[in-house]
């Protein structure tokens, strides 16, 4: 145990780091230094895995701070750059190359060597997950940790470059190990049993994953596709439909590919584009298999919609009825339907929190126009730093999809009702336009949306005082 | 065709480059820029492949010069580094990160995107082979080409990191495609026919290769191993021995693993360490299979020995007999044996050039002491920038092997006699020492050698006036 | 639909049979007749699959009766055999060969051709399952059906000859399809979920199956093995032990291979020896993997023991207390423990039927000697046509195993208590003796048993008046 | 060594046979006899493999004669058959079944057990090859050997039933072991080197083989197919065409599948239909891959044509010029072209024997009509027991193909010229007709032939006095 010694873990940490993080060779010797012995990498990995969560943070703090860039060296070389501006290009390039080298954190080498050890790449993916957690939980505000994160992301981006990934189709003949993992990772529409998972890899379904040579048996990102006649507007029809489980696919009934679930499995690969590429590769694969397949769309959940709406209806909010979330007529219907004794906003809030309204045809009909309008606005109008607040929307818009259709009562499972009042959305991939859409969204934040969505948004804007 | 237009290829080149090499996003936008359309990468690849050799050089010159680093931007940021030295660390790190980013050549992005396209990684490996040829043939002295080479090497080093390589044992059950390639790549001891290659993957032999997910069916580096009782001193006994072709391996007869051929197949991966790692992985694999296996050694050719010796004996050289290459007694024996009418040096030169001396027992016996002495010196004493001149010696010494034993009449094939007077050498891997040996060689240029080698070297030094 | 025509299925059956069951060629033409078109086989299969259960019996009756052996032809040739007895051997052999050919049922050819069609072998396996059911349910007493059964068994025995079977080790990496099937087929110790099945293919466990080229993805017989220090005496310790689920196997802790479940999956392969061969192959496989493995044993259920015992205690039986099933002392203990108001035999019967006695230490202790004694007798002494009545015992004794050890409270699951009062038995495979044991059992009905078993049996015999 | 003992091999043979060929169990015990120990089978195999060719014959003689059918037993049961004719059917069936069992040769059991041992099936295939050689070389005339052959054929037919065979497509990615074997087995158009074999598995080519679970890595029968626009009339265009070696297949250029080589590799499987089934399976496979593929044909050699023709022209033959093989006009042309000093028949004979005539345009033109006519007759008219004398013709006609087109100068290799004067023939598979053709040929010996063939035959008949 790392804390067994009387001197405490910190002493040990420093010793371990000194021993395992070799100094950066000089620029001249950079190609002439043998790699450190593999045992250094193994020792580092072993030690780190044995640490408690708190200790890990300390360790990463130390690593990033004391074994990072040599600022003095950088500063000196930066000075030289100015001096050489008027010299010949060869000299300029030389100094630039030295400067570039001097900007390498000392720990980068170690990370690189760890990737060569068995299990090393997976270790670094998990290490970065720790780093990301430290940053996002604000446990540490050290700028060095952010540098470490950047270095790790850069390395992982190269190692998980799409050219090195393998597209695998998962079927009922795939190893059980893979299928169990895919069942576990499927958080969007949970897999309950063998039959559920068999359905998702059976006829009229496809399941694809990216895997990587250095992490065998580990799907990195998983995409579930339903092959349908029309673009689906209901998720139960996809994941709870067993009628065709033993049938043969009829190619004439396949006009649409509906991506109904996409899951990234590695927290440590955040920011390393995989999902986007997986969708593209799958589109191409499916076009090869079904040349006449013409419609590509997601059927996506809208996590956060209910929570956002509840927030607006909350007691501490002044808006309530006054904010124009519902029309007067709609508020009245809520009151009638609920026999509300308190304010209509409270009544609505409780109604939505309960979820039973779904089973009342009258209530459902009454709420539909308002919830659809609000949901459209939530997806289209609510932003974070200018981009869509809803993470699923943000993902598909970055990929160049169009916000295409809101579907009422598309997910009537308790989970679906609680999360998004049962509403789901299709992000449609018009293949000719995704490239331009993606660029427009990323650069100008413009959101491509269908007339249905835009119509609902404009209805919202007419009423709302938000 | 690229040159079809009246305006010539140069105009086209510039257009292609402008279109396909996207500008580097600003530092702020670096994570928000969608990847350029795949078609850019494909267009670049297609155009380049269609160029003639000369045109390729022009194209690479342009690419590296006009789409490299923004020197002005670097210079400005370098200036800022000086200013921020006294500010808080967060600011320093920020400026360093900007500076690091600004040192990215504009074309680096394109290369990265090409790697994502099917066949892209292989394209870049071949592109780098072209770059290396331009540099080593001195066809271009542009410092930008060297920068391009450095950038490519950096990227390839990450993509071909050992953790991403797959160790494959090649057997007679491996795909024919692989075995044919391995036959072709085997330049050291050429494969003549099916039986030859079957022998090299049969009992008491192992053949391993690294392959890579992005280049399926393509062995990157190939290692041939013979499993023997004693460390082999003769290559024909390995590659021309068919007696055991259909036998079962007797584990009790396996004490030594002799690496008798290692070939890198991709010129474009020069400087990306693969061979070293392959040997290490194979050693571990064999130890797993044969726990009592204790001796690891190469049986290596000595390319260049005869040419070096012929150079010393050349007519333009003053040394000749006077240089002490042979003892007086030895010169006399040469004269007697050849009935030399001209100088003994000329006689010796012609003798060695012919190669028939091997078949004369008398001549062979007469020449043995001198040639062994000279060969030991050639391997141990002849240097280039302080490291062993002989490339095979340099490779194994870098890996930490010991120059262990010279073997007389170890390769009596015409090729072996012409290249190294039939002498071969064992570089022995004492596993406990390779790490230290490697560091010593790379850092202090110290060569680990056995008593046999050192004895021969000291005999040489006593006589020689070189 | 087969019954669609007004004339009913019988007419159709006859037509179908006439069309699809080609006449046997004459002896002279037997090698010169082209196979009937595949469509005949397909039509037969399709028609049969469409029949209701009742119709199937009629159909098989007709097939076996009207398309069997040509008795007249046989009789004539049999007559000739007598005549040729004094002729030369060549003539004798000729007549014998003709006679042999004439004894071929006409339908045999069709069955043979069906085996060539895709899915044909599986069809015949299932067809034979139907035939067996007809015979064992006594639905038909036709001797022709028995002939059909014999013919099918003969053919299946050749096709499922052990040389044509593939031994597959099932692991967590095996196709999910296989693992699900194995979960379903495991009737002895049911598999409840993913973790259960993962355990049974994880460390210290092995799962092997025979598969066959003509029925891909279909395990025919499955053997589960636990690798343990000592021969296991408790099944829960095997199937509910998850402590070692993620551990690495320590080869030094593996001295025994315990076969804790063997299941045949194809009713239609009854009488085709598979389980016996599977055990032998697995023993050899394990010996290869663990050279020092020395103990091989089953840990087997004793289905039928409780039912047999309840029968003895039944109200209609005169034996009851008088039969000496328990000693007087034991009866008293039962009475005390149960506070029996009726006869002790009834009390005991109810006690065993309930199963709660297992949780009473006192009751369990009281019952142990009697139940062990009775169980030993049930296994060793109760016979059917001279062979062990208990089918599991009969299987292992046929294989040459020794009835080795009864284990008290070895299966305390409700199923185990209800079926065999929680007792399980080890049939031990002493590899040097299995051959002789098997022959002795099959030919003289001698049962090899350990001292423990024989001791219990002799105790039983002393008391019992059975 | 089998002959080491002073008593000679015969004594040993008898001992071995007695020990390894267990007596047939009684009818009652037939399902209750444990299999003999595997060591018996292994001993038998080992002993037999160690015998010299001569000894093998003796051994097989003994085996088949002394361990065959119990003739006395058969005779007795045959007597009973007569007696039971008037009894109930159940009794009749019983006696028949006993009789059937009694007709089993004692060695059949051993053969069956051998098939269960590793390598056993292959051993029996090779054993049957020996038996066939003994019979066809007339080394033994024993009727028992013929019985042994029949028994072996019966067993092998079941084990190599098509449902148990695996169709494998051989590609450049197949194991080298397989490709080398296929190269060796290809006797029709020999494979010279890597490029040759690569061509035959490359674009516009297909190579299929049947393999069997019990003989892994061993192709049993191999079919080479060329995918062409029109039905090929020249073999060099198929096996020596390398232009398309690296091209992609253009599906629009594929209208015909030409079977240009089919080889059985196992002499011991003679009479076990494999080639026929392979062609059928491949046709179905190709139809699946290329739905519009409409023409199926062989391009076949005509082994024996030249030898047959030379026979007719031989000096001992009276026919010579007088037999009407050539027309007077044709004879004259031969005389003129050869400047024959002796008889024209001799001249023609020498001409054909030499083969150089192919390179003379004049000679070739002169000989074409006569050789085509004669060849058509040779294929269509020459018979053995009523079936086509030419074995290739016989094979395809049995399969139901039509003798479709003779092709002049279709194989101009020395081998082709020497064997069939360069002529080749297409046997075309009209899929709708093969079934009827096959039956007609086998039963009535009718040959399906095209107008071209029939026209040539009738020309021949007009002239010939044969």
Residue B120 has pLDDT above 90, yes or no: yes
How far is Cα C192 from Cα D431, in angstroms, rounded to an integer? Answer: 52
> What is the tens place of the pLDDT at every residue in B29-63?
888 777 777 888 999 999 999 999 999 999 999 99
- pLDDT level of residue D3 (50, 70, 90 thresholds): very low
On whether any CB of chain C is under 8 Å from the CB of D386, the answer is: no
Closest chain D residue by Cα to residue C31 = D271
On whether any CB of chain C is under 8 Å from the CB of A194, the answer is: yes
Chain D interface, best mutation among C140, C164, C216, by max D CB count within 10 A:
C164
Of C96, C115, C144, the CB nearest to D69: C96
Structure tokens at D176: 């080298």
Buried b (16+ CB within 10 A) or exposed e, D177-205: bbbbbbbebbebbebeebebbbbbbbebb
- pLDDT level of residue D256 (50, 70, 90 thresholds): very high
* Among the ranges given (A137-146, B293-302, C92-101), the one the predictor scored with the smallest mean pLDDT: A137-146
- pLDDT level of residue C67 (50, 70, 90 thresholds): very high
Judging contact as 3 or more Cβ pairs under 8 Å, the answer for C and D is yes
pLDDT for the residue numbered C9: 56
Catalytic one of B300, B413, B435, B450: B300
Triad A44, A48, A53: Cα angle to 5°? 165
pLDDT for the residue numbered D315: 66
pLDDT for the residue numbered D340: 65
The residues of D carrying an active-site annotation are 300, 396
Contact C165, C212 (CB under 8 A): yes
pLDDT for the residue numbered D317: 60
- Report, in angstroms and rounded to the nearest whole number, the Rg of chain A calculated over CA atoms: 27
pLDDT for the residue numbered C321: 63
Partners of chain A (3+ Cβ pairs below 8 A):
B, C
pLDDT for the residue numbered C11: 65
Q: Rounded mean pLDDT of D25-36?
A: 82
Q: What percent of chain D stands above pLDDT 90? A: 65
Q: Is D284 exposed, middle or buried (0-12, 13-18, 19+ CB in 10 A)?
A: middle
Partners of chain D (3+ Cβ pairs below 8 A):
B, C
- pLDDT level of residue A8 (50, 70, 90 thresholds): low
Structure tokens at C283: 């023993």
pLDDT for the residue numbered C466: 65
Partners of chain C (3+ Cβ pairs below 8 A):
A, D
pLDDT for the residue numbered D242: 80
How far is Cα C166 from Cα C274, in angstroms, rounded to an integer? Answer: 11
Residue D1 has pLDDT above 50, yes or no: no
Judging contact as 3 or more Cβ pairs under 8 Å, the answer for B and A is yes
How far is Cα B100 from Cα A99, in angstroms, rounded to an integer? Answer: 8
Residue A431 has pLDDT above 90, yes or no: yes
Residue C1 has pLDDT above 70, yes or no: no
Residue A352 has pLDDT above 70, yes or no: yes
- State the nearest Cα–Cα gap between C182 and chain A, in angstroms: 12
Q: Do domains C163-298 and C305-463 have the same CATH topology?
A: yes
- pLDDT level of residue A7 (50, 70, 90 thresholds): very low
pLDDT for the residue numbered A345: 80
Query: What is the distance between the terminal CA atoms of chain B, rounded to a whole angstrom?
Result: 57
On whether any CB of chain A is under 8 Å from the CB of B247, the answer is: no
Q: Is D174 exposed, middle or buried (0-12, 13-18, 19+ CB in 10 A)?
A: buried
> What is the tens place of the pLDDT at every residue in B227-271?
999 999 999 999 988 888 888 899 999 999 999 999 999 999 998
Q: Say yes or no for a CB contact (<8 Å) between A174 and C179.
A: no
Q: Where are the beta strands (DSSP E) in D182-243?
A: 205-212, 221-228
Closest chain B residue by Cα to residue D178 = B173
The residue written with tokens 């020896």 in the block is C273
Catalytic one of B113, B212, B224, B396: B396
pLDDT for the residue numbered D210: 95
Contact A155, A112 (CB under 8 A): yes
Q: What percent of chain C stands above pLDDT 90? A: 65
Measured CA distances, A173 to A251, A424, B235, C209 (Å): 22, 31, 47, 16
Residue D364 has pLDDT above 60, yes or no: yes
B window 209-238, beta carbon within 8 A of A? 212-214
Beta strand D221-228 pairing with B295-298:
unpaired
On whether any CB of chain D is under 8 Å from the CB of B242, the answer is: no
* Of residues A328 and B420, more confidently modeled: B420
Residue D2 has pLDDT above 50, yes or no: no
Tell me the CATH number for domain D8-69+104-159.
1.20.140.90
Catalytic one of C64, C256, C396, C420: C396
DSSP A34-64: PPPPHHHHHHHHHHHHHS-HHHHHHHHHHHH
Structure tokens at C153: 């068994």
On whether any CB of chain B is under 8 Å from the CB of D10, the answer is: no
The contacts of residue A201 (CB under 8 Å, 6+ apart) are: A170, A171, A172, A174, A179, A207
Q: Say yes or no for a CB contact (<8 Å) between C81 and D92.
A: no
C264 sits in which H/E element: strand C256-264
> What is the tens place of the pLDDT at every residue in C453-466?
999 999 999 877 76
- pLDDT level of residue D341 (50, 70, 90 thresholds): low
- pLDDT level of residue D466 (50, 70, 90 thresholds): low
Mean pLDDT score across all residues of chain C: 89
Triad C112, C113, C114: Cα angle to 5°? 95
Which residues from chain A sit within 8 angstroms of residue C175, using beta carbons?
A: 172-176
Q: C with D: how many residue pairs have Cβ under 8 Å apart?
A: 149
> What is the tens place of the pLDDT at every residue in B316-355?
665 556 667 888 888 888 888 777 666 778 888 888 888 8
Q: Say yes or no for a CB contact (<8 Å) between D175 and B177.
A: no
Beta strand D256-264 pairing with D295-298:
parallel
- pLDDT level of residue A83 (50, 70, 90 thresholds): confident
Which residues from chain D sit within 8 angstroms of residue B182, using beta carbons?
A: none
3-state SS assignment for residue A446 = coil
pLDDT for the residue numbered B313: 84
pLDDT for the residue numbered C325: 83
Phi and psi of A404, rounded to 5°? -110, -45
Chain D interface, best mutation among B168, B170, B172, B176, by max D CB count within 10 A:
B176
Which residues from chain B sit within 8 angstroms of residue D192, using beta carbons?
A: none
Catalytic one of A40, A297, A396, A438: A396
How large is the angle between the packed helices A38-50 and A106-114, nearest 10 degrees? 90
> What is the tens place of the pLDDT at every residue in C330-357?
888 888 877 766 677 888 888 888 888 8
Give the residues across from B223 on adjacent strands: B208, B262
pLDDT for the residue numbered D318: 57
On whether any CB of chain C is under 8 Å from the CB of D164, the answer is: yes
Per-domain boundaries in chain A: 8-69+104-159, 163-298, 305-463
C292 sits in which H/E element: none
Q: Rounded mean pLDDT of C178-194?
A: 88
How far is Cα C226 from Cα C233, in angstroms, rounded to an integer? Answer: 12
Partners of chain B (3+ Cβ pairs below 8 A):
A, D
- pLDDT level of residue B213 (50, 70, 90 thresholds): confident
Triad B403, B407, B413: Cα angle to 5°? 125
pLDDT for the residue numbered A233: 96
Q: Rounded mean pLDDT of D342-348?
A: 78
B396 a catalytic residue: yes
Catalytic one of A300, A413, A435, A438: A300
Which residues from chain B sit within 8 angstroms of residue A37, using beta carbons?
A: 435
Contact A184, A265 (CB under 8 A): no
On whether any CB of chain A is under 8 Å from the CB of B105, the answer is: no
pLDDT for the residue numbered A234: 95
On whether any CB of chain C is under 8 Å from the CB of A172, the answer is: yes
Neighbours of C28 (CB within 10 A): 8
Judging contact as 3 or more Cβ pairs under 8 Å, the answer for D and A is no
Q: Rounded mean pLDDT of B126-138?
A: 95
Contact A219, A183 (CB under 8 A): no
On whether any CB of chain D is under 8 Å from the CB of B248, the answer is: no
Residue D372 has pLDDT above 90, yes or no: yes
pLDDT for the residue numbered C317: 60
On whether any CB of chain D is under 8 Å from the CB of C103, the answer is: yes
Q: Does domain D305-463 have CATH number 3.40.630.150?
A: yes
Fold assignment, A163-298: Aminopeptidase (3.40.630)
Which residues from chain B sit within 8 angstroms of residue D198, using beta carbons?
A: 176, 180
Q: Rounded mean pLDDT of A70-75?
A: 92
User: For the complex shown, is ipTM > 0.85?
Assistant: no
B window 51-70, beta carbon within 8 A of A? 69
How far is Cα D114 from Cα B270, in angstroms, rounded to an integer? Answer: 56
Q: Rounded mean pLDDT of B141-164?
A: 91
Residue A253 has pLDDT above 50, yes or no: yes
- pLDDT level of residue A4 (50, 70, 90 thresholds): very low
Q: Say yes or no for a CB contact (<8 Å) between A161 and B159.
A: yes
Q: Say yes or no for a CB contact (<8 Å) between C82 and D81.
A: no
Mean pLDDT score across all residues of chain A: 89
The contacts of residue A397 (CB under 8 Å, 6+ apart) are: A387, A388, A403, A427, A437, A438, A441, A447, A448
On whether any CB of chain D is under 8 Å from the CB of C243, the answer is: no
Q: Rounded mean pLDDT of D95-103?
A: 95
Phi and psi of B140, rounded to 5°? -135, 140
DSSP A90-159: HHHHHHHHHHHHHTS-HHHHHHHHHTTSTTHHHHHHHHHHHHHHHHHTTS---HHHHHHHHHHHHHHHHH
> What is the tens place of the pLDDT at every residue in C226-267?
999 999 999 999 998 888 888 889 999 999 999 999 999 999
Q: Rounded mean pLDDT of A194-198?
A: 88
> What is the tens place of the pLDDT at every residue in C287-342?
999 999 999 999 999 999 999 999 888 766 655 566 678 888 888 888 887 776 66
On whether any CB of chain D is under 8 Å from the CB of C431, the answer is: no
């Amino acid at each position: 145990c790392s804390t067994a010694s009387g001197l405490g873990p910190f002493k040990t940490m420093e010793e371990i780091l000194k021993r395992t993080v070799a100094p950066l060779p000089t620029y001249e010797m950079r190609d002439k230094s043998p790699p450190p012995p593999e045992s250094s990498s193994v020792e580092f990995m072993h030690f780190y895995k044995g640490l408690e969560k708190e200790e890990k943070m300390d360790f990463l703090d130390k690593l990033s701070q004391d074994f990072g860039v040599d600022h003095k060296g950088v500063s000196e070389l930066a000075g030289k750059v100015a001096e050489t501006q008027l010299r010949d290009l060869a000299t300029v390039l030389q100094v630039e190359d030295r400067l570039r080298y001097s900007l390498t954190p000392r720990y980068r080498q170690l990370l690189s060597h760890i990737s060569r050890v068995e299990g090393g790449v997976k270790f670094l993916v998990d290490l970065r997950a720790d780093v990301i957690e430290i940053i996002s939980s604000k446990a540490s505000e050290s700028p060095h940790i952010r540098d470490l994160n950047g270095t790790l992301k850069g390395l992982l981006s190269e190692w998980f470059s799409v050219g090195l990934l393998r597209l695998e189709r998962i079927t009922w003949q795939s190893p059980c190990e893979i299928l169990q993992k895919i069942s576990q990772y499927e958080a969007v529409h949970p897999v309950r049993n063998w039959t559920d998972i068999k359905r998702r890899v059976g006829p009229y379904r496809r399941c694809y994953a990216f895997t990587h040579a250095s992490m065998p048996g580990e799907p990195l990102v998983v995409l579930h596709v339903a092959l349908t006649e029309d673009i689906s507007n209901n998720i139960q029809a996809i994941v709870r439909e067993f009628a065709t489980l033993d049938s043969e696919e009829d190619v004439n009934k396949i006009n649409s590919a509906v991506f109904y679930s996409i899951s990234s499995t590695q927290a440590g690969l955040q920011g390393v584009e995989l999902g986007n590429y997986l969708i593209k590769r799958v589109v191409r694969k499916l076009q090869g298999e079904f040349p006449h397949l013409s419609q590509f769309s997601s059927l996506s959940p809208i996590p956060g919609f209910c929570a956002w709406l509840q927030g607006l209806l909350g007691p501490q909010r002044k808006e309530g009825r006054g904010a124009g979330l519902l029309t007067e007529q709609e508020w009245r219907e809520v009151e009638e339907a609920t026999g509300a004794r308190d304010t209509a906003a409270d009544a609505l809030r409780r109604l939505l929190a309960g979820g039973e309204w779904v089973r009342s045809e009258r209530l459902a009909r009454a709420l539909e126009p308002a919830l659809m309008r609000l949901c459209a606005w939530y997806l289209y109008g609510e932003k974070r730093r200018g981009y869509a607040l809803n993470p699923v929307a943000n993902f598909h818009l970055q990929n160049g999809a169009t916000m295409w259709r809101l579907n009422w009562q598309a997910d009537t499972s308790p989970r679906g009702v609680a999360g998004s009042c049962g509403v789901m959305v299709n992000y449609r991939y018009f293949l000719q336009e995704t490239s331009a859409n993606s660029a427009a969204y990323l650069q100008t934040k413009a959101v491509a949306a269908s007339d249905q969505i835009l119509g609902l948004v404009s209805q919202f804007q007419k009423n709302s005082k938000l």
